[in-house]
Structure 1
Amino acid sequence: MATKFPTAQELDRRVFFDARVELDDGYGNTEGGFSERFEVWAAFRSRGGSEAVQAARLEGRNTFGVYVRSSSETRQIATDWRMRDKATGNAFAVKIVDAISDARWVYLEVQTGVAA
Structure 2
Amino acid sequence: MVAGRLRRRATFQEAVMIRDPDGMLIQGWEDRFTLWCHVHYLRGSEAVMQARLVSKSPAILTIRASAETRAITSEWRAVIDAVIFDLKEDPRPSEDGACLEMLGEA
TM-score (norm 2): 0.85
Q: Is the 8 A contact 1:63 1:110 kept in 2?
A: yes
Distance 1:94 1:50 in 2: 19
Note the aligned Cα RMSD (angstroms). 1.6
Unaligned runs of 5+ in 1: 1-5, 53-57
- What fraction of aligned residue pairs are identical, expressed as a percent? 26
Match of 2:57 in 1: 62
What amino acid maps onto 1:64 in structure 2?
Answer: A
Bigger proportion of residues as strand: 1
SS at match of 2:70: helix
Bigger proportion of residues as helix: 2
Alignment of 1:12-91 (within 5 A): 12-48=7-43, 49-51=48-50, 59-85=54-80, 88-91=81-84
SS at match of 1:97: coil
Q: Is the 8 A contact 1:47 1:63 kept in 2?
A: yes
SS at match of 1:80: coil
TM-score (norm 1): 0.78
